[in-house]
Amino acid sequence: MKHFSEDELTLYYYGEGRRRENVERHLDECAACAKVYREIAGTLAMIAAPDVPERGDQYGLEVWQRIRHRLPERDGSWLGQWFRWDRLSVAAAAAALVLVAFLAGRTSRDTAAPPAPTTLPVNTVADGDAGDARQRILLTSVADHLDRSERVLTDIMNAPNSGDISTAQGWADDLLTTSRLYRQDAVEAGERSVATVLDDLERSLLEIVHSPSRISAADLEQIRRRIDAAALLFKVRVMSDELRQREQPPAPSSPRTSTRKVS
Partner 1 sequence: MDATESAAVLARARQGDSEAFRALVERHSRSVFRLAFRMTGNEQDAEDVVQESFLRAYKQLGRFESRANFGTWLYRIVSNCSVDLMRAKQARHDQSRGDSLDEALDLPATDLPNPERQAQSAEIQRRVQGALAALSPLERAAFTLRHYEGRSIEEISRTLGLGTSAAKHSVFRAVKKLRAALAPLRSQES
Give the footprint of partner 1 on this chain (CB under 8 A).
Answer: 6-7, 10-11, 14, 16, 39-40, 42-44, 46-50, 52-53, 55, 59-64, 66-68, 70-77, 80, 83-84, 87, 187, 195
State the minimum distance, in angstroms, from the CB of residue 58 to partner 1. 9
Q: Which is nearer to partner 1, 78 or 218 (CB)?
A: 78
State the minimum distance, in angstroms, from the CB of residue 64 to partner 1. 5
**Buried b or exposed e, range 183-194, using 16+ CB within 10 angstroms:** bebbeebebeeb
Q: Which is nearer to partner 1, 67 or 231 (CB)?
A: 67
Which residues sit opposite 163 in a β-bridge? Answer: 215
State the minimum distance, in angstroms, from the CB of residue 243 to partner 1. 20
**Which residues have a Cβ under 8 Å from the Cβ of 200 and sit 6 or more positions away?**
230, 232, 235
Q: Which is nearer to partner 1, 4 or 168 (CB)?
A: 4
* Dist CA 8 CA 17 (whole Å): 7
SS3 of residue 223 by DSSP: helix
Question: Phi/psi at 169 (nearest 5 deg)?
Answer: -65, -40
The beta strand positions in the chain, using DSSP E, are 163-164, 214-215
Q: What is the CA radius of gyration of the chain?
A: 31
Report the run of H or E that residue 115 belongs to, with start and end.
Answer: none
Q: Which is nearer to partner 1, 36 or 113 (CB)?
A: 36
State the minimum distance, in angstroms, from the CB of residue 161 to partner 1. 30
Please say whether the beta carbons of 135 and 214 come within 8 A. no
State the minimum distance, in angstroms, from the CB of residue 132 to partner 1. 25
Q: Which is nearer to partner 1, 84 or 106 (CB)?
A: 84
State the minimum distance, in angstroms, from the CB of residue 72 to partner 1. 5
Q: Which is nearer to partner 1, 9 or 165 (CB)?
A: 9
**Buried b or exposed e, range 8-44, using 16+ CB within 10 angstroms:** bbbbbbeeebeeeeebeebbeebeebeebbeebeeee
Q: Which is nearer to partner 1, 16 or 221 (CB)?
A: 16
Please say whether the beta carbons of 26 and 33 come within 8 A. yes
From residue 215, alpha-carbon distances to 163, 225, 237 in Å are 6, 15, 26
Q: Which is nearer to partner 1, 111 or 184 (CB)?
A: 184
State the minimum distance, in angstroms, from the CB of residue 164 to partner 1. 27
State the minimum distance, in angstroms, from the CB of residue 6 to partner 1. 7
Check residue 163 and report its DSSP letter. Answer: E
